[in-house]
Amino acid sequence: MPDIAKLIAGKWKLIILQILIFEGPQRFGELKRRLDGVTQTMLTNQLRALEADGLINRRVFAEVPPRVEYSATPLAQDLKEVFYAMRDWWKRRPSAQR
């Protein structure tokens, strides 16, 4: 079995993927504002790792100042059903019934 955990391990990777998959491309600053408590260094590292694993694209626009957007790749989009399954599981757990 492939080491799936390596692809999505990390405190922020699943949240980053969820945002990019369901809400579309985001700029670095937008992601940083959405991820309460993430440092700039940590966000940069997580984005680089996701890009290296083929789960996100990084697009640099030739503007002044430069603009960079991150988006989910088709490979990451394939995880959409997994996120739906996790959401459904979360709703079914006993403490959610209270």
Q: What is the pLDDT of residue 1?
A: 45
Residue 5 has pLDDT above 70, yes or no: no
Look at residues 64, 77, 66 and name the one whose alpha carbon lies nearest to residue 25.
77
Number of domains in the chain: 1
Q: Which residues pair with 66 in a beta bridge?
A: none
CATH of the domain at 15: 1.10.10.10
Domain that holds residue 8: 4-97
When pLDDT is cut at 50, 70 and 90, the band that residue 18 belongs to is very high
Which pLDDT score, from 0 to 100, does residue 86 have? Answer: 87
Q: What kind and span of H or E run contains 1?
A: none
Most confident of 4-8, 22-26, 86-90: 22-26
Other Cβ atoms within 10 Å of 55 Cβ, number? 24
Q: Are 36 and 76 contacting, i.e. CB atoms less than 8 angstroms apart? A: no
Model's pTM, two decimal places? 0.84
Helix 13-23 / helix 80-92 crossing angle, nearest 10 deg: 110
Average pLDDT for 21-29 = 96
